[in-house]
A and B are shown apart, each in its own frame.
Chain A
Amino acid sequence: MSLKFYRRVAFGLSPNEKQDKDPLNWALSQLNTIPDLLWPGSIPSEKDLRKKYGEWVYGDREVLRKKYKNDKNAYKIAKDELRIKTGERYFELNEHAIRHFQTKYSAQPVFERFWLFWGNHFAISEKDFLAEFSTGPYQREIIRPNMVKTFEDMVLSVTTSWCMIHHLDNSESFGPNSKKGMEWRETINENHARELLELHTVSPNAGYTQEDVIQLAYIMTGWSHKWSRKNLETGDVWFDQEMHQKGDKVVLGVKYKNDAKRELTKVIHDLATHPICIKFVSTKLCRHFITDEPTEEMINPVIEAWNNSNGSLVEIHKAVITQAYKYNETTHKFHPPEIWLMQLSRMFDLNTPLSAKKMEYTFKSRPTNKQRQLSWILREIGNSPYRAKQPNGWSDFEVDWVSPELLLRRFWFASIELPMLIKPGNKSHDFILACLKNNFEDHENMASIIHQFRFGTSDKDLGRKYGVICNLPGVLKI
């Protein structure tokens, strides 16, 4: 079994890890439990961060905009102060540190790869201030705990989470025949219903119609955030009967009797166990771990495991890994920039993320450049994880990640930024050679390419070595 399996399903081996005698078992045994988050710094709760979100929007929208309506400059200054005070500039940086600390040090790195996958399947794209406050805790508190439950459990948690409801506007969706809908002459907002069908569950392959979207939106009416003058849109999610469309609904040919909040549980059960949903999501999983265009033979065992276990994610994950193992030698997979960065960080023990102590924040001044570094790098290599442009998340296809500029960004990172992230004790040429040996069968060939730079230890020399090594085909791709 070649060493690339450790990068296919995880992040490669760190200098103090050795390959396992039984790599398949090594990987499978990581999927039964949820590893703790290892970040020694602050890990604020979703609810606390939502409160901060509230302070920020309330302070800006309800206080500052009114107070400084005639003074643009004073407004700008006051707004900047509010950003600092509420952590608007900080929390996302901390979330990136939590995430990358986890992928770097977790004893269950295979589990972490699935965590990244699901967070992107149920993506929260760049909208309002979600990335600044809420997408990180959503990944930790909504996605992660569901990874040992069923797919259906995960869909239900995601669909009723504050983050997704805000992301896809469901609080603005009123049943036109509901009490509030009639009173305020309001109607539905289809956004969330459409993405629940298209992205999260059955996909357009299910052949749903516009009427199906409308009917599902009716079922979803009422699932909204509580609103108050002080907290605005950041209240908890609840089911508001007065917004809910009355009457029976029909989605994909199935009738859902008028049953208030229970309608959603029922329809999600049907969507999440729909054969087309199972095939769609299984294909995406295989695409992520095996190759861009997985074949039926690759996907079918995953579908089978799904059906046999009634959608148990642990069993589904195991089937995916078993397939990834089976096809390890015969398939190729190009990794998007963030996973590439995580792998470099683990294999070469890079000095990122910043230590928890240095990430501490006092809410009195802007975050330092050091505190911003990881997030800045992620943005510059084109893959800031919580800022996908659209609700379908980041692409998993090579063609979407190969362009002159995207490849140049990788050279940029490896040759200019990475040398500054090498720990002082790791600057020797022997260290690189040891890391290569630990992770690549063809390490001798790789070593011969950088042989000419072997005596240099300045950042510039290291930049040349890493610029070359990190962009070799076997590193960009498995």
Chain B
Amino acid sequence: MNCTRRNFLIGGSTTLFLSGYFPKISFASMQKKNLIIISLRGGMDGLTAVPVIGDKSLKKLRKKLILEDVLNLNSDFGLHPKLEIFHKLWEINQAAFVHATNIPYTGRSHFDGQNLMETGAHIPYKEKTGWLGRGLLASNIIGKGLAISLPMPLLLRGVPQNNNFFPSPDFVETKLIDQIYNEFKGEHNELIKSTLDTIKQRPFSMQIATDSEDRKKLALEAAKQLKDQSGPRVAVFDLDGFDTHAAQGGVDGAHADELEEINKIVTILYENLGQAFDNTLILTLTEFGRTIKQNGGYGTEHGYGSAILMAGGLVKKSQVYTDWPGLKKKELFEGRDLNSTIDSRAVYNSAMSVCFNQDPEFLRKEVFWGDELPDLSQELFKI
């Protein structure tokens, strides 16, 4: 990396503050827009997914983890070879990356970090709802959340009637629910009761039995539903295993395997959403990045800044959007981590504003307690 930090700053957010928000009521905005979040638990290493090219400090500190071949993005950044689909989409302006970004959390605990990446708050375990759930509620989009996981992710909580898809091995006679439904009385049974309501209203296509170990099948069903104009508008995938303290590897290895999982999901969505892909935004979410330096087990420790991988027709153009902090010792966060120069919540807030047709200012207040999050929708997304 030959460039200094300021060369990278694209656009000036101050001008955007002044530009205001003018919702466009056009045919395009009548089309349902999908927002898909892929949670990457364990701490995704932004420098493995979107490595900076030719940085001497990185080479020195990560002798065993350097990627030999990367896919080319631009003169400064490459892409991990397992993230093929993002490269393909990059070529047609449907993939982009935000780098050196994270939620404003520097504590390096997975559990606190994951709680905060989902709640969007500052104090762990204080909020009981997720930013995505609150965004849906504020936008009055009810019953349109779909989680591709067995539990309901915290990220989606806060808006009623979310669904999830992770079917059991056999068909279940849901009419049994009618026999007991009225037994759920009192405040302490409300959550179960409203969940039973959701089950009763599930579309027929979800009442199937399948092998939920097969991530492909799940992603296919998600694509099918998202494609439906009256289907869900938000989907949340959950991946874990990014916490590579040992044997992290480079082109192959523990981290590469996880990146491959992201690639699979995005590929299936791309191939099966058809036209709906043009009205879709896919974003990743993680609790933190990883240390620059490799550790005693050829892995990396919990860090700070990471990257957001973005794909879909609502991406503005192929770009690595960053205010690059540099990797020299004094440029690192606490001398060890890639710094975060962009509050990732600004990206998510902007993405919600685009997909939910909402004023970003309004969402910022409703969802993120008015925290100072610049509107990045014009830089990052098609509006």
A169 to B163, CA, bound (A): 37
Contacts A407-B196, A464-B176, A468-B180; is A380 near B168 (CB within 8 Å)? Answer: yes
| Pairwise interchain contact B170-A402, C-beta atoms closer than 8 A | no
Taking the complex as formed, is A382 at the interface, i.e. its CB lies under 8 A from any CB of chain B? yes
Contact residues in B for A405 (Cβ distance below 8 Å): 150, 164-168
Which candidate, A97-105, A144-152, A183-191, A355-363, is the interface stretch facing chain B? A183-191
Taking the complex as formed, is B261 at the interface, i.e. its CB lies under 8 A from any CB of chain A? no
Taking the complex as formed, is A210 at the interface, i.e. its CB lies under 8 A from any CB of chain B? yes
Of B152, B169, B179, the residue contacting A468 (CB under 8 A) is: B179
| Pairwise interchain contact B172-A403, C-beta atoms closer than 8 A | no
Taking the complex as formed, is A114 at the interface, i.e. its CB lies under 8 A from any CB of chain B? no
Taking the complex as formed, is A399 at the interface, i.e. its CB lies under 8 A from any CB of chain B? yes
Contacts A210-B334, A404-B198, A467-B173; is A449 near B245 (CB within 8 Å)? Answer: no
A449 to B177, CA, bound (A): 12
| Pairwise interchain contact A173-B296, C-beta atoms closer than 8 A | yes
A472 to B170, CA, bound (A): 21
| Pairwise interchain contact A204-B124, C-beta atoms closer than 8 A | yes
Taking the complex as formed, is B111 at the interface, i.e. its CB lies under 8 A from any CB of chain A? yes
20 contacts between A and B (CB under 8 A): A187-B295, A189-B246, A190-B302, A194-B108, A390-B111, A399-B152, A399-B191, A400-B151, A402-B152, A403-B150, A403-B152, A405-B165, A407-B199, A408-B167, A408-B199, A412-B168, A449-B179, A471-B180, A472-B180, A473-B192
Contact residues in A for B152 (Cβ distance below 8 Å): 399, 402-403
Contact residues in A for B79 (Cβ distance below 8 Å): none
Other A-B contacts than A187-B296, A213-B108, A398-B191, 15 sampled, CB-CB below 8 A, are A189-B245, A204-B112, A392-B110, A399-B128, A403-B164, A404-B164, A404-B202, A407-B196, A411-B174, A412-B168, A412-B172, A449-B180, A468-B176, A473-B180, A473-B185
| Pairwise interchain contact A191-B245, C-beta atoms closer than 8 A | yes
Q: Which residue of B lies closest to A408 (CB)?
A: B172
| Pairwise interchain contact B173-A392, C-beta atoms closer than 8 A | no
Q: How far is the CB of B65 from chain A (nearest CB, A)?
A: 14
A4 to B171, CA, bound (A): 32
Q: Which residues 187-207 of A have a CB within 8 angstroms of B?
A: 187-191, 194, 198-199, 204
Contact residues in A for B107 (Cβ distance below 8 Å): 204
Taking the complex as formed, is A409 at the interface, i.e. its CB lies under 8 A from any CB of chain B? yes
Q: Which residues 173-189 of A have a CB within 8 angstroms of B?
A: 173-174, 181, 186-189
Cβ contacts B98-135/A at 8 Å (1 or 0 each): 00000000011111100000000000100010000000
Contacts A190-B302, A198-B111, A390-B240; is A477 near B188 (CB within 8 Å)? Answer: yes
B interface bracket (residues with beta carbon within 8 Å of A)? 35 or more
Of B124, B170, B199, B245, the residue contacting A416 (CB under 8 A) is: B170
| Chain A interface main SS type | helix
Q: Which residues 145-164 of B have a CB within 8 angstroms of A?
A: 147, 150-152, 157, 163-164
Q: Which residues 411-448 of A have a CB within 8 angstroms of B?
A: 411-412, 415-416
Q: Give how many A-B residue pairs fall within 8 Å (CB-CB).
A: 140
A189 to B244, CA, bound (A): 11
| Pairwise interchain contact A380-B169, C-beta atoms closer than 8 A | yes
Q: Taking beta carbons and an 8 Å cutoff, which residues of A are in contact with B?
A: 169, 172-174, 181, 186-191, 194, 198-199, 204, 210, 213, 332, 380, 382, 389-390, 392, 398-409, 411-412, 415-416, 449, 463-464, 467-468, 471-473, 476-477
A402 to B162, CA, bound (A): 11
A188 to B246, CA, bound (A): 12
Taking the complex as formed, is B323 at the interface, i.e. its CB lies under 8 A from any CB of chain A? no
Taking the complex as formed, is B17 at the interface, i.e. its CB lies under 8 A from any CB of chain A? no
Contacts A404-B163, A405-B165, A468-B176; is A172 near B295 (CB within 8 Å)? Answer: yes
